[in-house]
Amino acid sequence: MSTLTPSLATPPLPRRIKFLYGLGDWGTSAATTARNLFWLFFLANIVGVDVGVASIVVAVGKLWDAINDPLIGILSDRVHTRWGRRRPFLLFTAIPFGLCFFFLFSTPPIPSLGA
């Protein structure tokens, strides 16, 4: 009775491999952190939106994330392509993500909003 289960028999991953796996999320994490730190300030002080309205905009975005993120997770768990389950999401959303991040910090040319 000295047989090991496969999970106990496999050696742990080296730190280098763990680091490289974590590095795959660095781009979106850096962009999300920058947005979270600066967006409310940007809306209120640069665009000129009322602080209460800007706070509601941020809160609605967080509520949308709370609903949308589990749904996208379920969808990505069910997708099976020749590239794998997650890679199509990474490949096909990288450019739209970058464009959305750019436009998120662009001041609209509306005289009543822009400062």
pLDDT in tens, 28-84: 788 788 788 888 888 888 888 899 998 998 899 889 999 999 999 999 899 999 999
State the pLDDT at residue 5.
Answer: 64
List the structure tokens of 27.
């781009």
Pairwise pLDDT comparison (113 vs 25), residue with the higher score: 25
At 95, the pLDDT band (50, 70, 90 cuts) reads very high
Which pLDDT score, from 0 to 100, does residue 6 have?
62
Cβ pair 47, 114 in contact under 8 A: yes
Q: Whole-angstrom Cα distance, residue 89 to residue 83?
A: 10
Mean predicted confidence (pLDDT) in 85-97: 89
Q: Is 84 left (phi over 0), alpha (psi -120 to 50) or beta?
A: left
Q: From CA 44, how far away is CA 63, in angstroms rounded?
A: 20
Q: Mean pLDDT over residues 2-23, rounded?
A: 79
Average pLDDT, the chain: 84
pLDDT-based confidence at 99, cuts 50/70/90?
Answer: very high
Domain map of the chain by residue range? 46-107
Percent of all residues in the chain with a pLDDT value above 70, rounded to a whole number: 88
Going from the C-alpha of 48 to that of each of 34, 84, 108, the distances in angstroms are 19, 44, 11
